[in-house]
Amino acid sequence: DIQMTQSPSSLSASVGDRVTITCQASQDISNYLNWYQQKPGKAPNLLIYDASNLETGVPSRFSGSGFGTHFTFTISSLQPEDIGTYYCQQHDNLPRVTFGPGTKVDIK
Amino acid sequence: QVQLVESGGGVVQPGRSLRLSCAASGLTFTSHGFHWVRQAPGKGLEWVADIWYDGSQKYYADSVKGRFTISRDNSKNTLYLQMNSLRAEDTAVYYCARDRARAVLDSWGQGTPVTVSS
């Protein structure tokens, strides 16, 4: 199975800061990488699909990039409503979908 | 607007069974595959199972294979997860999610909690 790692595991940043999360796959997954946001007590929500495509309705301050084994997720200007945990998910090695361990984002 | 509503969760003793349901609306149910994803208390997301749009293919995580069965009733727009031989480590919130294409999970239910405890 493909293993996914994320760093950092948590971060605290100020409103307006640029925030970057990295996700690494244990083998080449092309661009088959999605990013989800999960706010406390809520279901996950798709933000980015296929590494860099912004889901409809998602604010443009969210972006993603990467290919192969190394991916990044960026919030260009952190807002209070962005508090939550962010997960990457590979969908190359189907049917075995795997998620990263998550990155918890807080406001400083 | 796509809506997925899970039900059937609860407290159950180890070794017993439970069936979860996920009622879908606002979409063409027969056009999509669906997944179950779970989240143990304070932990991350774990994929559990998925089923193709027509029910012809079903896949399971190793942790539940042989104990859980995913199914769907396209006449009722409903997805199911039959969970047998439940263990303490199955305690989690269970989410159903729509597969837009190739495991891009673009709509999720609110989740139903399952607690396995004596």
pLDDT digits (tens, 9 = 90+) for B44-67: 999 999 999 999 999 999 999 999
Is A87 in CB contact (< 8 Å) with chain B?
yes
pLDDT > 90: what percent of chain B?
Answer: 98
> A interface mutation test: which of B4, B96, B104 has the most A CBs within 10 A?
B104
SS3 A70: strand
| Single-letter code of the amino acid located at A33 | L
CB B117 within 8 Å of CB B15: no
CA distance B52 to A93: 16
> Quick one: residue A41, left, alpha or beta (phi over 0 = left, psi -120 to 50 = alpha)?
left
CA distance B97 to B32: 10
Q: With the C-alpha atoms ordered B100, B93, B72, B29, is the resulting torsion angle positive or negative?
A: negative
pLDDT, mean of residues A34-58: 97
The larger pLDDT score, comparing residue B65 to residue A95, is at: B65
CA distance B58 to B60: 7
Is B47 in CB contact (< 8 Å) with chain A?
yes
CA distance B41 to B36: 16
Residue A1, pLDDT > 90, answer no
φ/ψ of residue B90, rounded to 5: -85, -5
Kindly determine whether residue B47 and residue A46, on different chains, have CB atoms separated by under 8 Å.
no
Is A35 in CB contact (< 8 Å) with chain B?
no
Q: Report residue B33 as tokens.
A: 């595959």
Residues of B with Cβ-Cβ distance to A98 under 8 angstroms: 47
Residues of B with Cβ-Cβ distance to A34 under 8 angstroms: 104-105
Secondary structure, 3-state, B35-93: EEEEECCCCCEEEEEEECCCCCCEEECCCCCCCEEEEEECCCCEEEEEECCCCHHHCEE
Residue A95: its pLDDT value, please?
85
CA distance B1 to B32: 15
CA distance B87 to B104: 29
Task: Give every residue of chain B whose pLDDT is below 70, as ranges.
Answer: none
Residue B1: its pLDDT value, please?
93
